[in-house]
């Protein structure tokens, strides 16, 4: 019987065209051809298992005989890399998964694409996915503590003008305010509804208030991580400081 490793290896060699496994997984068109080649032999394994097997082969040097010398270079990555970072962070925390799992699972990859597209429209899923891999390669996607913390729920990233603040009534947690290009502010609150309303009506952070007065709420996104009611203020503040360290918000005071 043909093993899954041989099926994956043969399919990869058939479709890779000299590119590395990361390209075959991140590029929706190449990935579709790869999965089709696998399923011609056996349809027993699903897309996620096949993609993950390909990554495992690469990590275990199981592709030593493959000639993967072509390089992928996309222009203007600075225009959408931030959206890729926000999308990865959002799914990592929401689903407790890594970037590899996101890209290998078609459902998660589609969700990733949707989040990135909302923040930086005008690019293809391949652009967003490849930018995410580039961020990880340059060590800009180090795991966050929040991804390992039990949260009650995750909201967003969602446009501020579409956010229902009443849904956060009586809830505590941490929040992240972003534009289409950068993280603006990170905070924690015992009462998320009141704190976010203060920011949106007239923030007590003068730099954020000035930004929102100048640019408005149209392109402001909010990401909320609701914590269990039993969480202490110490936990909220620790998560806030960790997010400030990893997200590098423009308007937070250095601590």
Mean pLDDT by 10 residues, the chain (255 residues): 82 92 96 95 88 89 74 89 93 90 97 94 96 92 77 86 86 94 94 94 92 94 92 91 91 70
CA torsion sign for 129, 81, 168, 249 is positive
- Domain range for 109 is 77-137
Instruction: Give yes or no: residues 166 and 230 share one domain.
Output: yes
- Residue 72: inside a domain, yes or no? no
Nearest to 81 by CA among 39, 128, 45: 128
Distance of alpha carbon 119 from alpha carbon 114, whole angstroms:
9
Instruction: Give yes or no: residues 133 and 149 share one domain.
Output: no
Instruction: Give yes or no: residues 131 and 156 share one domain.
Output: no
Among residues 137, 155, 176, the one where a domain terminates is 137
Q: Do residues 68 and 13 lie in contact, with contact meaning Cβ atoms separated by under 8 Å?
A: no
- Residue 47: inside a domain, yes or no? yes
Instruction: Give yes or no: residues 164 and 131 share one domain.
Output: no
- Residue 188: inside a domain, yes or no? yes
Instruction: Give yes or no: residues 191 and 237 share one domain.
Output: yes
**pTM recorded for the entire structure:** 0.82
Among residues 87, 104, 137, the one where a domain terminates is 137
Phi, psi dihedral angles at 79 (to 5 degrees): -80, -20
CA torsion sign for 24, 28, 34, 35 is positive
Residue 74 has which token pair? Answer: 């996309």
Q: Do residues 84 and 116 lie in contact, with contact meaning Cβ atoms separated by under 8 Å?
A: yes
- Residue 87: inside a domain, yes or no? yes
The secondary structure of the chain, three-state, reads CCCHHHHHHHHHHHHCCCCCHHHHHHCHHHHHHHHHHHHHHCCCCCHHHHHHHHHHHHHCCCCCCCCCCCCCCCCCHHHCHHHHHHHHHHHHHHHCCCHHHHHHCHHHHHHHHHHHHHHCCCCCHHHHHHHHHHHHHCCCCCCCHHHHCCCCEEEEEEEHHHCCHHHHCCCEEEEEEECCCCEEEEEEECCHHHHHHHHHHHCCCHHHHHHHHHHCCCCCEEEEEEECCCCCHHHHHHHHHHHHHHHCCCCCCCC
- Residue 85: inside a domain, yes or no? yes
Instruction: Give yes or no: residues 23 and 96 share one domain.
Output: no
Instruction: Give yes or no: residues 35 and 105 share one domain.
Output: no
Among residues 117, 137, 157, the one where a domain terminates is 137
- Residue 163: inside a domain, yes or no? yes
Instruction: Give yes or no: residues 18 and 105 share one domain.
Output: no
Instruction: Give yes or no: residues 54 and 93 share one domain.
Output: no
pLDDT, position 255: 44
Instruction: Give yes or no: residues 133 and 161 share one domain.
Output: no
- Residue 67: inside a domain, yes or no? no
- Residue 71: inside a domain, yes or no? no
Number of domains in the chain: 3
Instruction: Give yes or no: residues 153 and 100 share one domain.
Output: no
Residues in CB range of 61: below 8 A, 6 or more apart: none
């Amino acid at each position: 019987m043909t093993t899954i490793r041989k099926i994956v290896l043969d399919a990869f060699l058939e479709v890779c065209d000299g590119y590395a496994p990361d390209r075959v997984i991140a590029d929706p068109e190449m990935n579709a051809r790869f999965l089709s080649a696998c399923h011609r032999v056996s349809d027993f394994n699903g897309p996620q298992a096949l993609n993950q097997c390909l990554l495992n082969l690469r990590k275990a040097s199981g592709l030593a005989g493959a000639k993967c010398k072509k390089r992928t270079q996309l222009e203007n990555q600075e225009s959408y890399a931030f959206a890729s970072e926000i999308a990865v962070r959002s799914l990592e925390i929401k689903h407790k998964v890594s970037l590899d799992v996101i890209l290998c699972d078609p459902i998660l990859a589609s969700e990733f694409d949707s989040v990135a597209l909302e923040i930086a429209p005008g690019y293809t899923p391949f652009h967003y996915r490849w930018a995410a891999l580039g961020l990880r390669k340059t060590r800009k996607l180090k795991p966050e503590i929040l991804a390992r913390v039990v949260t009650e729920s995750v909201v967003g990233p969602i446009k501020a003008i579409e956010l229902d603040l009443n849904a956060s009534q009586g809830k505590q947690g941490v929040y992240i305010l972003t534009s289409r290009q950068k993280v603006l502010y990170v905070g924690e609150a015992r009462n998320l509804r009141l704190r976010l309303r203060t920011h949106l009506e007239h923030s007590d952070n003068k730099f954020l208030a000035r930004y929102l007065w100048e640019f408005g709420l149209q392109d402001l996104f909010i990401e909320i991580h609701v914590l269990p009611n039993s969480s202490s203020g110490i936990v909220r503040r620790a998560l806030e400081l960790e997010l400030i360290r990893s997200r590098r918000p423009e308007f937070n005071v250095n601590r």
